[in-house]
Amino acid sequence: MLQEVKGTQFLTALREGGSLPGIVEADNDGTYVVKFRGAGQGSAALVAEIVVGELGRHLGIRVPELVLLHVDAELARREPDQEVQQLLQASTGPNLAMDFLPGSVGYDGIAWRAPAEEAARIYWLDALTANVDRTWSNPNLLIWHRQLWAIDHGAALIFQHSWPAVDGWATRDYGLGSHVLSERVSTLKPSTLESLDAELAALVTPQALERILALVPDDFLESMHSTNGADPQTLRARYCEYLLARLAGGRDWWPESAA
């Protein structure tokens, strides 16, 4: 299970994106970047954050620790900003938070360049999960202690918004040509790409996906608007089905030299 903490003080809103995440202190003395269930993207974005973030961790990618942060009415009452107060009021209960990395900077590919194989590992994850939100306009990568960290996976798993036919989604190309790390991936030899593809594919097993989906709270799944009344266990099985189908669908989404 993900660690559960209680929010004790809202510090500041992060207004770069549309979902208005915020930095919040918790009762374990930790500081977290919180994605709120009451934001416009709803709990589907939180499900994607958990599934893709923890899958990335399983594949050897650095992802800040994820926890469930509980918001109560008192935290909302103490917030003077009306927009933030309304968001907190709409988000009482568990929300998703990631460990705040103090002093981290956004990846720009100039001051520090990602190692090619590490870049390819992140690209593979994004291609598998249809994460179209890692471009130069929004890299969603941080440099912290001269290491690369992947954040913000709420736009991935596009299938969960409409649940299209599994076979169609499994082979769909989401056009990652503008991916922030595509240039680094292109420097690798075909044999290296093939070896990495085989290594990562072998790690995405039904057992691994079931373990990761078990981390998603029932409440997040039940709050999604596209579930058509399916129970949480049925939905967890559907996520596994979609991801395994994409893995087995020929992997046309991986660079052609490694397909």
CA distance 116 to 180: 12
End-to-end CA distance of the chain: 35
pTM: 0.95
In sequence order, which residues have a C-beta less than 8 Å from that of residue 250 and are 6 or more positions away?
171, 259
Asked if 24 and 69 count as a contact pair (C-beta separation under 8 A), the reply is yes
The torsion angles phi and psi of 150, rounded to 5 degrees, stand at: -100, 130
Beta strands, E only, 124-202: 141-144, 147-150
CA distance 24 to 8: 7
The structure tokens listed for 21 are: 């995440």
Where does residue 73 rank: exposed (0-12), middle (13-18), buried (19+ CB within 10 A)? Answer: exposed
pLDDT in tens for each of the 259 residues of the chain? 899 999 999 999 997 666 789 999 999 999 999 999 999 888 999 999 999 999 999 999 999 999 999 999 999 898 899 999 999 999 999 999 999 999 999 999 998 999 999 999 999 999 999 999 999 999 999 999 999 999 999 999 999 999 999 999 998 888 888 999 999 999 999 999 999 999 999 999 999 999 999 999 999 999 987 787 899 999 999 999 999 999 998 788 887 544 4
Residue in the structure block whose two tokens are 């130069």: 136
| Residue 232 confidence (pLDDT) | 95
| Residue 255 confidence (pLDDT) | 77
| Residue 46 confidence (pLDDT) | 97
| Residue 256 confidence (pLDDT) | 57
| Residue 259 confidence (pLDDT) | 42
DSSP assigned state of 135: B
